[in-house]
Chains A and B, each alone.
Chain A
Amino acid sequence: MAILEVKNLSIEFGGLKAVEDFNLSLEKGELIAIIGPNGAGKTTIFNMLTGIYPPSNGTIHLDGENLLGRKPFQFAQAGIARTFQNIRLFSNASVIDNVKMANTADSNENFFESILRTPGMVEKERQLDEHALELLSLFGLEGQADTIAKNLPYGAQRRLEIVRALMLNPKVLLLDEPVAGMITTELDEMAQLVKELREKHGQTIILIEHHMNFVMPIVDRIIVLNFGKTISEGTPAEIQKDPRVIEAYLGGGFHGNA
């Protein structure tokens, strides 16, 4: 059974059909990409998959569980974690606290244990710290654990957002343009990291990207969106040859193939 099953997902913004009949059946361990020109509706799909926008039509099932009608934090707790196209870190908190913040629902020490700082609570904090450091080290950020997030270089901020999402131990990880604004070397590094997440950790991932040379070598499947509609779907090789895709990009002023 698919881990994420999305049927006929649609949404309108004051008459504008931003996404129309989006369908997706994602297997566990798959790594896929959603591509399309600016304004195609890619981020809007993520916003629906994380409960931020309630769709006007369609269904979302995660591991067989219907998620519609739940609040965004419940989507996250159910196992859909994301990063944001415009970085949204907890900018005044330290790097490690950013990661630990994503664990709030899982930690179970109660309020009184916390304000009295009981030995049990301190021990849980220590374990949480260790776990956060482990995840940070996957992305080479453990050395900056105590840096204030807003003082990190841009590329590191993007990586931190991924680590923070991983702290939720998500069933599906959504990455919205993880290499936007990065330089070529960072881009290759990120491709490697995303690949490893999938290969070593079995992480199921959907990513949105404009950089084709980032996407093509690492994903299993690509879904192409234009004006909210799915115009093509297939392996990277199939997509590259599809005349509809080429046309959409030529017409839509696609800028990212660099």
Chain B
Amino acid sequence: MKNKLNSILPPVVLVLIYFLIQLLLSKKILNPYHIQILMFACVNIMLTVSLNIVNGFTGQFCIGHAGFMSLGAYGSAIITTMLFGGMKMDPNLRIPVFLLSLLVGGILAAIVGFLIGLPTLKIKGDYLAIVTLAFGEIVRSTLRLIEPIGAARGMIGIPKITNLAWMFFFVMITLYITRNFVYSRYGRASIAIRDNEIAADAMGINTTRYKVIAFVFAAFIAGVAGGLYAHLMTFIQPDSFSFVKSNELLVYLYAGGSGSITGSVLGALVLTIIPEALRFLGNLTNWRIVIYAVILVLIMLYKPSGLFGGKEISFLRINRDSFRKPFNKFNDPKLADKQNS
């Protein structure tokens, strides 16, 4: 019973929050700008959680995650804007085409993730860092050269389809599948590789395979997040997905605590909102990178495990009991008796 409640509660809470926000909007306590910031925070949550799969749970080091985001953003924007007429799209097609475009964006990022992950993750050592760093920059420079998608000027006229409801929906799905991943043999293999790669190997885990799976999975989520971002901004530019963006994601991740989904959510949420809240101090954009770098150094020095260091709130955890007890009771009367006595 408690488990049922546990699994229904989070979506219910999210829906309540959604309606609370709508209420605050109608009472003019919140304004559309606030909502925009919140949606950016949601995009960052998806990106940070996905980065966590690679850096936090598998113990690899990806530092070009914005590259996957840009592939998803461009991939999905090309579908909605260039293939289906963008703003002029048949209203009935908007949602299906939008969802299709997100899928395409995610798959594009996943395919590229596979192509760079396979050769790189085969080699032991931190080659992934170097390769993903280069990858992020290569994608950005290449996008700057492709004239049909606006080159360095970027793409404009992307229909604004992403709204708060969609954002909440996708964050929810991301958290759900990421949690399930962590508590499956795929997640266990990842954690084994992170904790002791030699032992993982000796226990029959095909380390390259599971690293690649984690990496491709993360790339897919980042791609979808990129697609949501494109249809939120209505305008994308290669330079929005530079090393600065990847770096930001690393700060969110390590501030929240790598290896904790809860930490990624809070890291991304808090660190997206704070700079906006501090706008009254003047334009901090130029200082952002410096501030983030300082935060990163301080965290590494004083609290390397981050705010949440490995801990999870209950929705993002699966206790063994949660799947043992109900099954025992319904399927195995003998065991149920033993438990009751």
Chain A residues with CB under 8 Å of chain B are 50, 52, 71-73, 76-77, 81-82, 84, 88-93, 96-97, 100-105, 107, 109, 111, 114-117, 121-123, 125-126, 129, 145-146, 164-165, 167-168
Contact = CB atoms under 8 A, between A and B. Distances in A.
A114 B213 contact: no
Interface in B159-183: 177, 180-181, 183
A50 B200 CA distance: 12
B60 to A, nearest CB: 16
Contacts of A81: 202-204
B199 A84 contact: yes
A89 B199 contact: yes
A77 B209 CA distance: 15
A101 B327 contact: no
Interface of B: 177, 180-181, 183-186, 188-189, 191-192, 194-196, 198-207, 210, 213, 217, 259, 310, 320, 323-324, 327
Contacts of B189: 101, 104
Given A88-B199, A101-B205, 12 more contacts: A52-B202, A73-B200, A73-B203, A73-B207, A76-B204, A92-B310, A97-B191, A104-B204, A111-B213, A114-B186, A126-B324, A129-B324
Nearest to A46: B202
Nearest to A50: B202
Contact of A90 (B181, B191, B213): B191
A115 B184 contact: yes
Contacts of A71: 201, 206
A90 B177 contact: no
B199 A115 contact: no
Given A92-B191, A115-B184, A104 B323 contact: no
Pick from A84, A88, A164 the residue with the most CB of B within 10 Å.
Answer: A88
Contact of A104 (B177, B196, B205): B205
Contacts of B323: 122, 125-126, 129
B203 A102 contact: yes
A114 B320 contact: no
A101 B207 contact: no
A163 to B, nearest CB: 12
Contacts of B259: 92
B279 to A, nearest CB: 38
B204 A116 contact: no
B196 A129 contact: no
12 contacts: A52-B202, A76-B201, A89-B199, A91-B195, A101-B189, A104-B192, A104-B204, A111-B213, A114-B185, A116-B177, A129-B320, A129-B323
A73 B208 CA distance: 10
A114 B205 contact: no
B180 A101 contact: no
Contacts of B188: 93, 97, 100-101, 104
Given A73-B206, A116-B177, A164-B203, A104 B320 contact: no
B196 A91 contact: yes
Given A77-B204, A93-B192, A164-B203, A116 B180 contact: yes
